[in-house]
């Protein structure tokens, strides 16, 4: 008898569940995840519930601090983990909030003439002489400080080392975007002495 339905996935989570889990680890709410993925809020709730059951977790906070890596990611291979004396690299990204992402994208591209790197959802990225400018749409834009993102060669090793030094992380390392060529964008957020956000970031390329 031929088995019907979708083929089983050779991983802890399905591709859709991985996408939702990464966005939960990034701190997004169900409505924001639904808007970014182009699905209903109920669909997101369904995926979150499945992730919690499969991983044996009780809450979204457990997902936020889970350090799982999908089998399809280059980071899943232990050969990609570096044995290093962890040190923060140069600043790789600065984040700013804008009220209208489409208008802001056009202004930074056409008025300031900054090279546009890519856009997905309500997020847009530009190159500022090697430092990446990250714009995100937020209705309540304030005059608050920007977030600094430090480049590191191995985001999991950097997370472990900084945590051993007493740094307080708000989430686990997680992938926020996968480019068409397979390059993955990974981030992990922590707090400074005043509780303000900072982040480490890494680009992982397929070898």
Paired residues of 24 in beta bridges: none
Q: Does pLDDT of 5 surpass 60?
A: no
In the predicted structure, residue 2 carries a pLDDT above the cut 90: no
pLDDT at 68 over 60: yes
Residue 193 is predicted with a pLDDT of 74
> Per-residue DSSP letters for 144-205?
PPPEEEEE-S-HHHHHHHHHHTT--BSS--EEEEE-TTS-EEEEEEEE-TTS-EEEEEEEE-
The pLDDT of residue 179 is above 60: yes
Q: CATH number for the domain including 41? A: 1.10.10.10
Which pLDDT belongs to residue 3? 46
Q: Do 192 and 143 belong to one domain?
A: yes
Is the pLDDT confidence value at 201 over 60? yes
Looking at the structure, tell me whether residues 132 and 62 fall in a common domain. Answer: no
- Given 46, 66, 86, the domain boundary residue is 66
Instruction: Using a cut of 0.75, tell me whether the model's pTM lies above it.
Output: no
Range(s) of the domain holding residue 21 = 15-66
The domain spanning residue 164 has which CATH number? Answer: 3.10.180.10
How confident is residue 20, by pLDDT bands cut at 50, 70 and 90?
very high
- Residues 59, 84 within the same domain: no
Q: What is the pLDDT of residue 112?
A: 86
| Distance from the Cα of residue 97 to its chain's centroid | 16
Contact status, residue 73 vs residue 79, Cβ threshold 8 Å: no
Give 207's pLDDT tier (boundaries 50, 70, 90): confident
Q: Which of 66, 86, 101 is the last residue of a domain?
A: 66
Inside any domain, residue 42:
yes
> Do 109 and 44 have their domain in common?
no
Domain count, the chain: 2
Residue 127: inside a domain? yes
Give me the chain's average pLDDT, please. Answer: 87
Among 66, 86, 108, the domain boundary falls at 66
């Amino acid at each position: 008898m031929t088995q019907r339905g979708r083929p089983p996935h050779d991983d802890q989570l399905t591709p859709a569940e991985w996408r939702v889990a990464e966005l939960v680890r990034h701190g997004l709410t169900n409505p924001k995840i639904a808007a970014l993925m182009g699905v209903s809020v109920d669909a997101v709730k369904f995926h979150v519930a499945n992730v919690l059951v499969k991983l044996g977790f009780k809450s979204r906070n457990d997902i936020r601090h889970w350090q799982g890596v999908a089998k399809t990611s280059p980071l899943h291979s232990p050969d990609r983990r570096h044995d290093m004396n962890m040190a923060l690299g140069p600043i790789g990204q600065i984040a700013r909030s804008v009220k209208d992402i489409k208008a802001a994208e056009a202004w930074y591209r056409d008025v300031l003439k900054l090279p546009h790197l890519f856009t997905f959802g309500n997020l847009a990225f530009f190159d500022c002489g090697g430092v990446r400018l990250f714009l995100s749409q937020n209705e309540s834009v304030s005059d608050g400080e920007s977030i600094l993102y430090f480049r590191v060669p191995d985001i999991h090793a950097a997370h472990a080392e900084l945590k051993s030094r007493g740094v307080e992380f708000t989430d686990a390392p997680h992938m926020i975007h996968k480019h068409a060529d397979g390059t993955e964008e990974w981030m992990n957020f922590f707090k400074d002495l005043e509780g303000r956000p900072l982040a480490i970031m890494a680009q992982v390329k397929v070898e």
